[in-house]
Amino acid sequence: KGRELADVMERRKVDILCVQETRWKGSKARSIGAGFKLFYYGVDSKRNGVGVVLKEEFVRNVLEVKRVSDRVMSLKLEIEGVMLNVVSGYAPQVGCELEEKERFWSELDEVMESISMGERVVIGADFNGHVGEGNTGDEEVMGKFGVKERNLEGQMVVDFAKRMDMGVVNTYFQKREEHRVTYKSGGRSTQVDYILCRRGNLKEISDCKVVVGESVARQHRMVVCRMTLMVCKKKRSEIEKKTKWWKLKKEECCEEFRQKLRQALGGQVVLPDDWETTAEVIRETGRKVLGVSSGRRKEDKETWWWNEEVQDSIQRKRLAKKKWDMDRTEENRQEYKELQRRVKREVSKAKQKAYDELYTRLDTREGEKDLYRLARQRDRDGKDVQQVRVIKDRDGRVLTSEESVQRRWKEYFEELMNEENEREKRVEGVNSVEQKVDKIRKDEVRKALKRMKSGKAVGPDDIPVEVWKCLGEAAVEFLASLFNRVLESERMPEEWRRSVLVPIFKNKGDVQSCSNYRGIKLMSHTMKVWERVVEARLRKVVEICEQQYGFMPRKSTTDAIFALRILMEKYRDGQRELHCVFVDLEKAYDRVPREELWYCMRKSGVAEKYVRVVQDMYERSRTVVRCAVGQTEEFNVEVGLHQGSALSPFLFAIVMDQLSEEVRQESPWTMMFADDIVICSENREQVEENLERWRFALERRGMKVSRSKTEYMCVNEREGSGTVRLQGEEVKKVQEFKYLGSTVQSNGECGKEVKKRVQAGWNGWRKVSGVLCDQKISARIKGKVYRTVVRPAMLYGLETVSLRKRQESELEVAELKMLRFSLGVTRLDRIRNEYIRGTAHVGRLGDKVRETRLRWFGHVQRRESEYIGRRMLDMELPGRRQRGRPKRRNTVRGLAHTWSQYTVKVNIRWLNLLSVLMTTLRGQHGSASMAVRRQKLRQALGGQVVLPDDWETTAEVIRETGRKVLGVSSGRRKEDKETWWWNEKVQDSIQRKRLAKKKWDMDRTEENRQE
């Protein structure tokens, strides 16, 4: 029906359609084909439901969707600066209770009252009432071209129009009765569907009539009106066409590109010395070989089944319906019914065939990328608002015109990237390091290219890194030569100085406020390769402090989270206070003063040659903002670091390293992850003093500490602890804080973090629910998608958390709910959890959590003694534990059978072997008991589990014992994992049922039937 409805709208040139009685359960949006999108709402799949269908060009104009109930919903659109509200309504039928009718009209009144008088409103509704023919006494709200007599429900429509100063559009145009009747059933014909608009906008409507001959709905007919909005004429923007660089993933396209490039260069792949000529040749060859995109949205992939055969069948059904409407004989009726049944069968067959081919391809290795693309497409189609086309100015007024929106984006980012915070000018100088630098070697270029990811958005030069990877050694030689010329001249190509800035919403705050967006620059990929070469050289020269965990080798967020959690748990265990301040910097990357950057680089010992090279990267840099309504004018960027640059994270680390040199303490009392800073101390006065010192050190050099986002937390707080102050202002005191994505609590517990992990898992599940809830996709594929997308979100940071059994169970319950939803199984089906996991090929979440914790423990134990994780585990604090049952100090003990097996610090190389051994001994495979396995291994080792010193002997003993105790596989292909439940008990029961059926077939008595 959805695809047929889209076909009718396309043929009848309908842009916006209100639909009622959809009987679809849910609250979302979905594509129905031909570029049309349906926004719907329903709570019962058997009754009610409303929706609004929009043409593709209007989908991106949606600003807001209000789903009031399964009888009323509204959409707000911005069309060329005009705000248009479309309301879809479905009034209760004549026989419904009065309370239900009053509720409908109350909801419709609330929707109308929420719309300002300056905005246009169009209501398309099935009011289930007759306003009647004639308009005596009601001339201000309706015309005289209604149908039949007015009833009570029709009077309610007229009263509503009077209250809201609206006009009933259907009644103003004189048409034949056939073009006024909206409902036909049996021998009855009447008018119950109406279009209403404000009386002041009636002059914008030039025609309104009922469309006959369409067979989408059996009884109701579509009411169509032509409305012309008075808007300013808009200059048509050119659609940006892009080269199809993604085709270079195919080897045949890559080879053809190399051959054509060779021809363009005179018979060999030797790139010219200058960048401009090379770039133009590459772009021109790419356009010829790979082609360019049209710039338009691709057709909906899920309506491939809408072929010519299906369309012809629906056309014959439509003509039969039209014939029956004109001559309602039994013969015409039967012809229409027969065609209707035939069309249903043909559509079902076409859809089944197309989807079988789709799902067969998705079940292959080649179709996996299409699978994730399909999941993203379905998630995107299900969203109401995909682009924010209107924003607010600095005074909070909503801007609707494209020119004003572009001006606001430019104004915001130009101000952000060109205004420095107040700072002291440095009076002291620093000695520059003048030394000769080596030329760029080819192996450096190869490493930089290898680190570049493919499939990323290109910069203004329109040359992706895939080009250089495709050209191979010729590209390496050219880039090495080019980079050496840039290094020698300290001047990079002018084309690299341009960038495109894309605002990315932070998923918090007002979506129409520019301050809630982060600007990411799309820069030249070749420049990023150059930045990676420079970064690799700078990292060899500059040594960053151990308190910095952001973008540093062998460090991650997990290290900082683990150190903070262990510190809080130790202080809680010793009943001592720990005071933590989480410092946030305002627009840290965007407000770094360039002069401070050059000073910090020189002070860190960077050669002056590299300082001048980096200065050249930031000199005369220009950018444009790409927003939903187009691109702004170009403007200069003179302050801050490039967001999206490969070199920026390390440059920021250099700045923070130098600015905090005099105020930072050793870890864990001070920890930094880029601009996220945590300061800890044993007393409140000391942490307040440290915070003030940090503020002074940063703000005197142009960085600003946020007063609103900096927060304070006290662990094991006693009465009257109070809070800390920053320049006389109280810092917000919290009981929990989300540090690097993991929630820490002032009481040292992890209950809130477990709930956040569950919520993160559900958020990830919803993003791919279009695939996971598709019953035509195999359980194996669903399990893979689940393990790839959902589980990582649930497991993030849990290797640092001491989970209780109840919390572990909470995670597993949430996971099983997701798996049951995905497989279409409810608890009423009485299918055991083991079968659910086996069908989806997903192990127990608790086992996975224990595995990650053991892996993390092994990682910590293998690190050097100065490593923060080792120091935190070995840290001893004075203090007494509280009375009562003490909390466990080491929860890793319970993950292995004997703690002594994990205390092999003398010979740490055995730790990996032992973790694998413990997993094997946990009893996940085979039928022998755990005690038997340990006993067999003890016997093989001479009476005790003490492993020999040499690897060969140990490995052979373990392998031989494993073969004896655990057995070996047959080597043949395993049975289908989805029939693990097919055990002997089930087979016996089915055999008994078969014999009973055979007995009943031979002697059909009631006793045998009941048996």
Q: How far apart are CA 97 and CA 49, in angstroms?
A: 18
Three-class SS state of 221: coil
Q: Please tell me the pTM assigned to this model.
A: 0.76
| 3-state secondary structure labels for all residues of 750-793 | CHHHHHHHHHHHHHHHHHCHHHHCCCCCCHHHHHHHHHHHHHHH
Per-residue confidence (pLDDT) for residue 908, from 0 to 100: 40
DSSP code for 885: S
Q: How far apart are CA 823 and CA 609, in angstroms?
A: 61
Host H or E run for residue 725: strand 725-726
Q: What is the mean pLDDT of the chain?
A: 85
The confidence band for 957, taking pLDDT boundaries of 50, 70 and 90, is: confident
Per-residue pLDDT reduced to its tens digit, 263-300: 888 766 566 678 888 899 999 999 999 998 876 555 44
Per-residue confidence (pLDDT) for residue 771, from 0 to 100: 86
The confidence band for 810, taking pLDDT boundaries of 50, 70 and 90, is: very high
Lowest model confidence (mean pLDDT) among 127-131, 480-484, 694-698, 985-989: 985-989
Q: Please provide the CATH number assigned to the domain covering 2-227.
A: 3.60.10.10
Q: Identity (one letter) of the amino acid at 441?
A: R
- Work out the average pLDDT over 203-232: 86
Q: Residue 394 has which token pair?
A: 């600095």
Q: Identity (one letter) of the amino acid at 378?
A: R
CB atoms within 10 A of CB 973: 6
Q: Which residue in 737, 883, 761 sits closest to 813, CA to CA?
A: 761
Per-residue confidence (pLDDT) for residue 268, from 0 to 100: 61
Q: How far apart are CA 687 and CA 665, in angstroms?
A: 11
Look up tokens 């001006």; give the residue: 407
- Longest Cα–Cα distance of the chain, Å, equals 109
The confidence band for 777, taking pLDDT boundaries of 50, 70 and 90, is: confident
Q: Identity (one letter) of the amino acid at 958?
A: I
Per-residue confidence (pLDDT) for residue 716, from 0 to 100: 85
Per-residue confidence (pLDDT) for residue 930, from 0 to 100: 53
Per-residue confidence (pLDDT) for residue 902, from 0 to 100: 44
Lowest model confidence (mean pLDDT) among 85-99, 723-737, 905-919: 905-919
pLDDT at 57 over 90: no
Per-residue confidence (pLDDT) for residue 925, from 0 to 100: 41
The confidence band for 453, taking pLDDT boundaries of 50, 70 and 90, is: very high
Q: How far apart are CA 570 and CA 879, in angstroms?
A: 10
Helix axes 251-264, 275-290, angle to 10 degrees: 130
Q: Residue 893 has which token pair?
A: 């003990």
If phi over 0 gives left and psi between -120 and 50 gives alpha, with beta otherwise, what is residue 554?
A: left
Determine if the peptide bond prior to 553 is cis (ω within 30°): no
Lowest model confidence (mean pLDDT) among 47-56, 107-116, 386-395, 488-497: 386-395
Per-residue pLDDT reduced to its tens digit, 335-373: 888 888 888 788 777 777 777 777 777 777 767 777 777
Per-residue confidence (pLDDT) for residue 920, from 0 to 100: 45
Q: How far apart are CA 612 and CA 599, in angstroms?
A: 12
Per-residue confidence (pLDDT) for residue 653, from 0 to 100: 96
Per-residue pLDDT reduced to its tens digit, 835-869: 999 999 999 999 999 999 999 998 998 999 899 99
pLDDT at 914 over 60: no
Q: How far apart are CA 303 and CA 355, in angstroms?
A: 10
Pairing of strands 120-126, 82-90: parallel
Q: Which residue in 47, 29, 3 sits closest to 300, CA to CA?
A: 3
- Work out the average pLDDT over 725-743: 94
- Work out the average pLDDT over 211-225: 85
Percentage of the chain modeled with pLDDT above 70: 89
pLDDT at 544 over 90: yes
Where are the strands (E) in 145-266, listed by range? 166-168, 183-185, 188-190, 193-198, 205-211, 222-227
**Concatenated DSSP letters for 512-573?**
T-GGGEEEEEE--HHHHHHHHHHHHHHHHH----TTB-TT-TT--HHHHHHHHHHHHHHHHH
CB atoms within 10 A of CB 710: 22
Phi, psi torsion values for 180, nearest 5 degrees: -115, -25
Q: Residue 857 has which token pair?
A: 């423990």
pLDDT at 698 over 50: yes
Bigger pLDDT: 775 or 536?
536
Burial 981-1003 (b: 16+ CB within 10 A, else e): eeeeeeeeeeeeeeeeeeebeee
If phi over 0 gives left and psi between -120 and 50 gives alpha, with beta otherwise, what is residue 36?
A: beta
Q: How far apart are CA 178 and CA 413, in angstroms?
A: 58
**Concatenated DSSP letters for 5-69?**
HHHHHHHHT-SEEEEE-----EEEEEEEETTEEEEEEES-TTS--EEEEE-HHHHTTEEEEEE-S
Helix axes 525-541, 442-451, angle to 10 degrees: 110
